[in-house]
Amino acid sequence: MKRKISSFQVILFIFFIWGFSPVAQELQAQEVRLDVPFVPTPYEVIEDMLRFAELKKGDILYDLGCGDGRIVIEAAKRAGIRAVGIDIDPERIRESRENAKKAGVEHLVEFRRADIFETDFSEATVITMYLLPSVNIRLRPTILKLKPGTRIISHDFDMDEWQADRMTYVPIDYSVHTVYMWIVPANISGIWDWSFELGKKKYSCRLEVSQVYQFYNGILYIDDLRIPLPEAKVVGDNVEFSVFLPGSADTELIFSGKANGAQLTGTLTVQRGAKNEKQPWKAARRPGTATRIDY
């Protein structure tokens, strides 16, 4: 007996075949929900973005929302570094790969179709972006967890309360573009302890640090004598501050070092006039005293 095919089954079949057609796939691509529309960064602006980046061997650049791949391709071409472009729009990824091929940098670049909010870009040493203020703010907590020293460069949009470390303007025709740069700071908030010796005397130190983004205020206690430090900046993982030895205005103590989690390691320079002596400096943060540096 012949089986009858219902009109519903015919419609289902057409729907199934339609799903594989290029037209349907194009329409699906158009349905991609973009947090930011595609607007390419002019090459004059890229020039200054890459100048701020100071790319060097070993850097890995990520362009979040890479568009046609131009920033990624320029970085790879100029500095010979590995560069990765992330874009949610498959059309942009296709275009970026084609452009990389034309530029002869396919071996250095990678383009991934992905959502920037679901992508791990923690290996980056440089991030570039041309997004929107609200998108920058959503990314900010993730960016602040990147390795201290990572350079973040944004075309036109800032990070609200997180002040840029550098900024420049690029006039093009009748408009002015802004380039911002931030250096991800180490979080040095909390209470730090160390001691040092000068002559035969041993001094105990405690530094209480409160930090907002890259700026910190500290109260240094040397043998319980309270010395407020002027506001200073953590540049990547670099920390430096100086005080005069209590009761000895000709003796300056310059502490400089690198933060690595709960350790600060570097040098104490004891400056007396034109003479100086150096000794290793090592401080440890009390567990549980670090706080958030954003708000």
Ligand X SMILES: C[S@@+](CC[C@H](N)C(=O)[O-])C[C@H]1O[C@@H](n2cnc3c(N)ncnc32)[C@H](O)[C@@H]1O
Closest distance of CB 218 from ligand X, Å: 38
Given the rule CB under 6 A, which of 31-39, 158-166, 194-202, 264-272 is the region that contacts ligand X? 31-39
SS3 annotation, the chain = CCCCCCHHHHHHHHHHHHHCCHHHHHHHHHCCCCCCCCCCCCHHHHHHHHHHHCCCCCCEEEEECCCCCHHHHHHHHHHCCEEEEEECCHHHHHHHHHHHHHHCCCCCEEEEECCHHHCCCCCCCEEEECCCHHHHHHHHHHHHCCCCCCEEEEECCCECCECCCEEEEEEECCEEEEEEEEECCCCCCEEEEEEEEECCEEEEEEEEEEEECCEEEEEEEECCEEEEEEEEECECCEEEEEEEECCEEEEEEEEEEEEECCEEEEEEEEEECCEEEEEEEEEEECCCCCCCCCC
Query: Which x/- pattern, by CB under 6 A, does the window 143-162 give for ligand X?
Result: ------------x-------
Quick one: 168 or 210, whose CB is closer to ligand X? Answer: 168
The answer to the question of residue 67 lying near ligand X (CB under 6 A) is yes
Given the rule CB under 6 A, which of 67-75, 205-213, 245-253, 281-289 is the region that contacts ligand X? 67-75
Given the rule CB under 6 A, which of 2-10, 60-68, 185-193, 271-279 is the region that contacts ligand X? 60-68
Closest distance of CB 37 from ligand X, Å: 6
Closest distance of CB 174 from ligand X, Å: 20
The answer to the question of residue 74 lying near ligand X (CB under 6 A) is no
Among residues 35, 106, 208, 252, which is the contact residue for ligand X, using CB under 6 A? 35
78, two tokens:
């100029």
Among residues 53, 55, 71, 179, which is the contact residue for ligand X, using CB under 6 A? 71
Quick one: 63 or 165, whose CB is closer to ligand X? Answer: 63
User: Nearest residue by C-beta to ligand X?
Assistant: 65
Quick one: 96 or 211, whose CB is closer to ligand X? Answer: 96
Nearest to 114 by CA among 92, 132, 97: 92
Closest distance of CB 185 from ligand X, Å: 25
- Whether residue 181 contacts residue 163, with contact meaning beta carbons closer than 8 Å, is answered with no
Question: Which sign does the torsion angle of CA 185, 141, 213, 280 carry?
Answer: negative
Quick one: 95 or 237, whose CB is closer to ligand X? Answer: 95
Given the rule CB under 6 A, which of 95-103, 113-121, 171-179, 272-280 is the region that contacts ligand X? 113-121
The answer to the question of residue 99 lying near ligand X (CB under 6 A) is no
The answer to the question of residue 110 lying near ligand X (CB under 6 A) is no
Q: Which residues here bind ligand X, judged by CB under 6 A? A: 34-36, 38-41, 63, 65-67, 70-71, 86-89, 92, 115-117, 130, 155
